[in-house]
A = this chain, B = another copy of it.
């Protein structure tokens, strides 16, 4: 396969990107993890979730968190971060058009230069079995399209309450399990960034001292 030259969006960024990647990754032994919590909210419910996700990420040492509403987020926020938690209301079973527009238009010039970052998802939906899981999986597919590595969470935050493909609330976060699910998502994102991007295995979830299964 010969180089695609002008038509190759990877090629035209290669030398600079490679240098940046290598130098960057080697130089970052001492810097903080950078977590972006990017959300859209119509009723305010997904915003409440986003606040909790951000708090969970911030609970991990050496972690810096940016919380951005989608209308105010910029492509640079994605460039900045090591990992992103994306939250959207479930609208008719999938991502809201406002959040989708961000990935179709605002973020598009970055494709695929943000690859190798980590990503996860959360959603508020009208009801249990109302599409929150589908929205999370659709968000993860968008992130995979951009080359991010995505994850869900095996933990149970209460009996019968988990977040295997991202955190989901029916409406606003309502009880301890809802709140813990959102915080756990942010915390896990920061933990994986610390472990995999910044090379600090002491933050791996395998080393967690909090209960991961209630």
Q: Residues of A with Cβ closer than 8 Å to B?
A: 1-4, 7-11, 14, 17-18, 20-22, 24-26, 91-98, 100-101, 103-105, 108, 111-113, 115-116, 118, 126-134, 136-138, 140-142, 144-157, 159-168, 170-171, 176, 180-181, 192, 195-197, 199, 201-202, 204-214
Q: How many copies does the complex hold?
A: 4
Q: Chain A's interface: helix, strand, loop or mixed, by majority?
A: mixed
Instruction: Assess the B157–A1 pair: CB atoms within 8 A.
Output: yes
A155 with B10: in contact, given A3-B211, A137-B141 (CB under 8 Å)?
Answer: yes
Most chain B C-beta atoms within 10 Å of own C-beta, residue among A128, A134, A168, A180:
A128
For the complex with contacts A21-B206, A93-B165, A134-B141, 5 further pairs of A-B residues with Cβ separation under 8 Å are: A17-B207, A92-B108, A126-B162, A129-B166, A144-B150
